[in-house]
Every structure is written in structure tokens, then in C-alpha cells.
Chains A and B, each alone.
Chain A
Amino acid sequence: MTQLISTDVAVIGGGIVVASAALALRRMNLAVTVIERDVCGSHSSGVNYGGVRRQGRSISQLALSARAHEIWSRLESIIGIDGEYHRSGHLKIARSQADMASLEIYREKTLAYGMDLQMLDASDLRKLYPWLGDRAIGGSLCPEDGHANPRLVSPAFAAAARRAGADIREHSRVDSIEKDGQSFILTTQSGLQVRSAFVLNCAGAWSGKIAAQFGEVVPIEPIHPVMVVTEPLAPFMNLSLGVEGGGVYARQAPSGNCVIGGSRGFALDDIRARPSRSAINLVLQQTVELLPSLRHAHIIRSWSGTEGSLPDKQPVIGPSKTTSGLIHGFGFSGAGFQIGPAVGEVLAELVRDGRTSTPIEAFAIDRYL
């Protein structure tokens, strides 16, 4: 039994980018149908580390990130819950003088973006964060960066979009997309046939197939970031932590559990992934080096997910170069959570105006073609 739907914009996917786009499109009084294979916020947007940070992004992303930062400041009024979002500050730890130097260079290069980065030396760290071990010899603090709970935030974004009148269809996998003159026709395994003027390709790690169908082949690969979580601990980590040059990243949730990410897992199938033994062992080892006070704590759970990654670690955002009406927003390479809300608005602007006020040239799909 096929259900026919006619809409202005069909959005493929269900993560934070999708929900933000749907919200923005509804504010523009456009009809939106979201087509999500599983349930909204169940993949990258739901299982990521939860970092809400600008610091550390490439310069090309900082305008988007600044726009998102402003949206995050209004999070509760948009999605109705606080989502455990906290501007705890984000500290990028230096383990060597070379690290300090590169952090300082980044700070200088990014002064225009209002992140208010502050360089801290070893004595600052001992004074402010005595729980940080000696491996940290300094760092760069972004006072207004923070963290949130993606398992709460992403579904809540979708719920807000639904309340705003977006037609959200979960458990619906897009099986085919045809272009019929000016319209797209999408059919799903759940019996939907959606006709729309625009299609937003925001299908996360699975966007490559859709893009390829329209002649745009991008080297998107699935990656599987690993998280572990500790038992609840008395509050001590009043920051979100990252390490310059790579390593683990850690934050403490309001419940007291510390979420620690790092390394990579492996795919179980096209959709699911699992932390590898080497990833878990690496995270255990590196965490205790960084945070010796955790040595007696226990990890109680680990998880991984499937995220789309591109070789330059930059997303694809912008109109298709082959097919009018098709707009892409995918490939966030493990850093889509904070900028997601801004990307959604940008995609909506591209639909309505054919352009956007936020620079996205660096993310054009044809940089790969």
C-alpha cells in the first residue's frame, strides 16, 4: 500500500543537521518531509562524544562554527530541554613545547572568530585543574566551548522539527530516487512515495551512494570512533578535554560518568560498529596517563557507531553540481555535532535563496571531482 506524499523539500537522514534544516525550512513556511531509515538521532548524531566545540576546527569551518555557537546558546528555547549542554570550557592539552607552539599559532590565526582562546602554562594547570596529571604541560582553553548529551539533544531536535510541522517518517529507507522533470520522486521500503522539488542528502555515512547516483562520486569512508564510559564519579572534571596532536578526549557528564573517546572500532555490518580491543586498551592506557586520578575507576560500557569521513576531514556542504534541486550536507568526519545546527540553517538558505550568508566554498562537492 503506497502512500503518496507531495512536499517542498525531502530530507534524507535524521541527525542533527537534518532536524535543524527541517526547523529552518518550517520557519520559512516550506513543507518538509524527513525520511530516516531508523529513528532520528540514532547514528552519528546520537552516539558521538558530545563535544560542542569550536576550538581545533579548521579555519574554513570557523564561520559555520561561530554561527552554530550562537544557536547553541539558545538550545533550550529551540528543543525544549537543556540536553545537558554545559559551557564548561574546552581545554586542548599540550604534552610538549612543540604542542604549545602549535596551539599558540592556532590562537593567533583564529583571533577574528571570537573564541577568546587563553594559553595556560603548567603552573596554571596545577592551580586550576589539580586533577590533571603531569603529562599535561600546558594548553589552550576556550572558555565558552563545552559539551552536551547527544542522545538527548539529537532526538529532541527532531521532536522540535515535528512540532514545527515537519513530516518525519522513521523506519523508512530510501530505496530509489528518480528525477522526473523538475521533481524528485523518492520511494521507501516502508511504502512511501515522496515527490519534492528539493532533496537534501544528509544521510550521514550513507550519503555517498546517493551522491554517486547523481554522478557525484566522493571518497567517503565509514569510520567508527570509540567511546568508553566510567561508572559515576564524584564531580571533578570541570572542563571538556582534548589533546593537541590527537589522543583521547574526555568529559564528565552531570551524572558523574566520564565519557572518553579515542581510537577506532570496526564495522559489524553496513550500519553497526563495535569498539575494537586495541581501541579500548589504548583509551584505558592514555586516559590514565592524562588523568591519573581515574586509575581506580572502572569503565562500565563502550560503544562505537558509523560516521562518514572524507580524506581532508572536511564535510561536503552545498548544491549538487550535476542535479538542480539536490543539495548535500554530509561527511562531517567525526566533528559534525557542534556545527550541525548551523549547517541545517545553511541548507535551508540554499533551498530558499540558492545561496547562503555563511562561507561554504571550502566544502563544495566538486573538490573531489
Chain B
Amino acid sequence: MAASKTVGDVLRANGVSRRGFMKFCAATASMMALPPTMVSAVAAAIENARRPSVIWLPFQECTGCLESLTRSHTPTVEGLIFDAISLDFNHTLMAASGQRAEDALDAAVQENWGNYLMLVDGSIPTGEFADYSCTNGHSHLDMLKKYAAGAAAIVTIGTCAAYGGIGRANPNPTQAVGVQDIIKDKPIINVPGCPPIPTVITGVLAHYLTFGTIPELDHHGRPMAFFGQNIHDRCYRRPFYERGLFAKTFDDEGARKGHCLYQLGCKGPVTYNACATLKWNNGVSWPVQSGHGCIGCSEPNFWDKGSFYRPLSAAYYGDARTVGISVAAGAAAGLAAAALARGKQKKAQQEEKA
């Protein structure tokens, strides 16, 4: 394995000049959401950083997260980040298959025990359904526990690996969970999203590459640099929200004028991600800019939080008819409880007299 070379060695071997290296560091610092003043510090760190061994284990996933990362054309800064790490295993990308692939995985793990970075995408079926997701005859639950034992840190790519995602959505037929529900003794960096923005994935890798540490995380285990900002607070349509200008259908005048999508179900106010600033497809656009509200895909259990098209303010109370029935039922239940209480009170009074 090529884990002994430094990243600087790899870049020079690829014919990258000092000027090219500084351009690489500027783009990497931007990718890590670091201020431009830190570029020289990033350069110094990357120059001497040793290439970490990385294994990527896909579990119960749709491959969307891997596609998100690899669909960008090479050579790109993201491609170079990928080259700078030593990706020793990913059964979707690697040429070997079957037992040879598994042998390569075991060899990488043994050689770098305690020091490799483990990337995971896809949820993990558990219990009696653990065997519903396997690779080469091994359940993903077993694989996760086996290879997590020797990992320096685990990066969960996508909402499925972080929190269970669509696999976990009601009725969760495979009892699927996220990595953090199984592994409790390793540092875990959650990079959720369905899929995550590619820059966010490589930004986290770049941070580990540069500093050798995990970045600052929020209460959901997500890097603050990318998930510390609320979509609503960074949305360019926020002024319309403030002025009460909303699109009410997807084709009305408000929609055509780019008004706020709150009333069409946008989950921006309760979602933390970098879509509003980094955007998608190398900064071309993002869902709100394309006219569709945020669906909150980087939040736990977003599939089960009600319709994507119902406004947040209506999510918990339903429509007027449902509210009316609920109120009547509540009132009836209150009357019944009161009657029961009076009955008990009267019985208690009679017993006391006796």
C-alpha cells in the first residue's frame, strides 16, 4: 500500500508545480470552509501529511452517495484529494471482485490496523434481518463491527449511514439503523445528505488529511463547517420570507418571481446543510434556486417527518377537519375522565363514611 508517501510526494509525482500546489491548497481551504488567510497553514500541513489508508464499505445503499462523489470530472481538486488518500478498498470502484477484493481489504486493514479511516455508506440491517444486506456472504452488521475495531475514525457518508435514512423509514422492514447506533467506541463523523454535496465529502477528507484530526462536530455528529448553518438563514429567498411573499403553487406568479417556498413545504428552517452556499454541481444551483423547497435530507428521520409539500406550521396539526375531530375527541375524553374522577371521588367519600 502507498500509505507511506506524503501528500506532497504524491502531488509532485503527478507533476504538480508549486504554483499548482498553492492553487490546490487555496481550493482545498475553500472546500474546508476555512478563511483564505489559512491557505499557507493548509499548504504547510498538506505538504507533510502522510497519506492515510482509507477503506470504504458500502452497505444497504443506493450508491447515490458514491455517485455524488465520483461523477465530477477529473482532474479536479476533489479528484486530487481522492488521489492523495490511499483508497485501499471500495468494492464498487475497485477492479478486483469476490475473494480477491476481500483479500485486498483484509491486507489493507492488517497493515494499517488502528490507523485507517473507514468510510461507510448505506444503513445496516439488524436483528433477524441482519442477513438481508451482505457482501460475499458476510452480513454488513458483522463487517461493520469487524472493521470498525481497527479504524482510527469512521466517516458516515449520507443519511443512511449516519442515521438510517430511507432504509430506516417507516415501517423499517429490515430493522435498519445508522453506524452510530451500533459503534459506540470510535470517533464518528456524520456527513449526512441524500446524497451529501460532493464538496462536503471531500472537505471532511481534506480536513482529516490536513490536520489529522476530526473537525468540530454538532450534536448530530456533523462537521460544523458545513452543517453549522441553517438553510433558512443562508437562503437567498429569505428577504421574501421576511416580507411575506410566498409561492402558493409551483406555477403561480410567486413561483415565477422566485418567492419563498415556505408554503410549498420547504424544510429550510429546520435543516442544517451547506446547499444554500456551496450549492450543487460545482455551484450551479440547488433545490430552492430550482424552484423546489428543501426536503431536509441531512436531518435524522426526514422521511418520516410528514409530507415534503406541507408547510412546517401545518405539519403537526393537520388540516382543519382533522383538527376539529381531534378537539372533539379531546373534549370527549376530558369529559369521560372527569366523570370517572367524580365517580372515584364519590366512592372514596362513601368508603370514608363507612
| A and B held together in a complex | no
Interface residues of A (CB under 8 A from B): none
